[in-house]
């Protein structure tokens, strides 16, 4: 079998840098991907929820109910949120640790609720939020509803799971969230994972509707330094019909000023054909335009 010089060079570079880029990415083609525009609505797995291909994270460098977004101040961050929804972003990812619920609620006060999708994450670990107590999920979700000024939350996640035994550890909370889903208080539930073991524990788990995963082309701020090892599990989860929300596409901001790396990461993630939406923590309106333009170019090649 003959191999072109270009393919040989690309393959060599990928091996030298430790990146296991998929064949579709190296060939500069995206396959089996239905979206043609960065703001197209796509299914979030089998949840019945549709989200925009580009979504807005609200907790860059978040913790203790603060984040880069809260540090922008009310006026600046709400302007970013309003611009995002004007441009076509329809999925906004929150968490108790980010402290951005009130910002989101106020920014979308005049926007019909059916026009956007909300996710939030419950923090059950020590630290992370100022509260000493960790109430059960129903009590926390009730607070979230008030903070977000909504009657329902589209997607509720158990935040930042790292161990393989999380299904046993959080069995009670999972049962509570199941009942909330039955009542229509939440539309879907799942987990945000921060280890490969925790991600693998989502496989063959019928309770998991959706998973927040960390994925980019460089293994930065991910659950394994080799993206291929993470991608393998993500594809299996996606094949099971679970929604996949991709985080850390820019390595938690590590290469936000390196356009070539951003482009390659976008192409890598899209090339997996297993990530439903890409959540990026936009801090300025122009960042939304720039990322959207890069995604649009990638989709056209």
Mean pLDDT of the chain: 90
What percent of the chain lies above the pLDDT cut of 70? 89
pLDDT at 15: 41
pLDDT at 63: 85
- 144 pLDDT exceeds 90? yes
Half-sphere exposure for 203 (CA within 13 Å, toward CB):
14
Question: Confidence band (pLDDT; 50, 70, 90) for 64?
Answer: confident
CA distance 161 to 197: 9
Span 140-151, average pLDDT: 98
Question: Confidence band (pLDDT; 50, 70, 90) for 81?
Answer: very high
Span 114-137, average pLDDT: 97
Has residue 277 been placed in a domain?
yes
pLDDT at 33: 53
pLDDT tens-digit readout, 183-202: 999 999 999 999 999 999 99
Q: How many CB atoms lie within 10 A of CB 103?
A: 23
Has residue 18 been placed in a domain?
no
Task: Count up the domains in the chain and report the number.
Answer: 1
Question: Confidence band (pLDDT; 50, 70, 90) for 59?
Answer: confident
CA 86 to chain centre: 20
**Which residues, including other chains, have CB under 8 Å from residue 243's CB and lie 6 or more apart?**
43, 44, 45, 46, 47, 49, 155, 188, 190, 209, 210, 211, 276
pLDDT at 32: 42
296 closest CA partner among 52, 24, 50: 52
Has residue 5 been placed in a domain?
no
- Yes or no: say if 34 and 277 are a contact pair by the CB < 8 Å rule: no
Has residue 7 been placed in a domain?
no
Has residue 8 been placed in a domain?
no
Tell me the three state secondary structure of residue 193: strand
H/E stretch holding 187 reads strand 186-193
Has residue 19 been placed in a domain?
no
CA distance 120 to 27: 37
pLDDT tens-digit readout, 216-258: 999 999 999 999 999 999 999 999 999 999 999 999 999 999 9
Has residue 23 been placed in a domain?
no
pLDDT tens-digit readout, 164-179: 999 999 999 999 999 9
pLDDT tens-digit readout, 262-280: 999 999 999 999 999 999 9
Q: Which residue has the higher pLDDT, 63 or 165?
A: 165
In terms of Cβ atoms closer than 10 Å to its own Cβ (0-12, 13-18, 19+), residue 126 is exposed
pTM of the complete model beyond 0.85: yes
Lowest mean per-residue pLDDT among 64-73, 77-86, 189-198, 229-238: 64-73
The domain that contains 245 carries what CATH number? 3.20.20.100
HEC secondary structure over 97-164: CCCCHHHHHHHCCCCCHHHCEEEEEECCCCCCCCCCCCCCHHHHHHHHHHHHCCCCEEEEEEEEECCC
Has residue 11 been placed in a domain?
no
Answer positive or negative: Cα dihedral of 19, 4, 297, 155.
negative
Q: Find the domain containing 41 and state its range.
A: 30-300
Q: Which residue has the higher pLDDT, 5 or 88?
A: 88
């Amino acid at each position: 079998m003959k191999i072109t010089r270009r393919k040989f060079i690309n393959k060599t570079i990928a091996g030298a840098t430790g990146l296991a880029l998929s064949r579709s990415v190296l060939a500069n083609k995206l396959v089996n991907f239905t979206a043609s525009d960065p703001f197209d609505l796509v299914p979030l797995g089998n949840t019945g929820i549709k989200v925009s291909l580009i979504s807005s994270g609200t907790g860059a460098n978040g913790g203790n109910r603060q984040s880069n977004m809260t540090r922008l101040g009310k006026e600046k961050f709400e302007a970013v949120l309003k611009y995002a929804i004007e441009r076509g972003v329809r999925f906004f990812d929150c968490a108790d640790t980010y402290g951005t619920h009130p910002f989101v609620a106020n920014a979308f006060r005049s926007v019909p609720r059916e026009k956007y999708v909300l996710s939030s994450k419950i923090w059950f670990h020590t630290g992370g939020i100022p509260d000493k107590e960790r109430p059960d999920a129903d009590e926390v979700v009730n607070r979230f509803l008030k903070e977000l000024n909504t009657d329902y939350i589209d997607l509720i996640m158990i935040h930042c799971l790292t161990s393989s035994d999380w299904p046993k550890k959080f069995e009670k909370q999972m049962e509570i969230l199941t009942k909330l889903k039955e009542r229509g208080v939440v539309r879907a539930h799942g987990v945000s994972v921060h280890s490969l073991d925790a991600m693998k524990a989502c496989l063959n788990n019928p309770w998991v509707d959706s998973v927040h995963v960390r994925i980019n082309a460089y293994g930065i701020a991910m659950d394994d330094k080799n993206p291929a090892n993470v991608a393998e599990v993500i594809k299996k989860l996606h094949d099971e019909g679970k929604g996949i929300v991709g985080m850390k596409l820019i390595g938690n901001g590590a290469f936000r000023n390196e356009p070539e790396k951003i482009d390659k990461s976008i192409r890598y993630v899209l090339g997996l054909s297993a990530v439903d939406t890409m959540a990026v923590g936009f801090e300025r309106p122009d960042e939304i335009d720039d990322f959207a333009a890069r995604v649009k170019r990638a989709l056209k090649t």
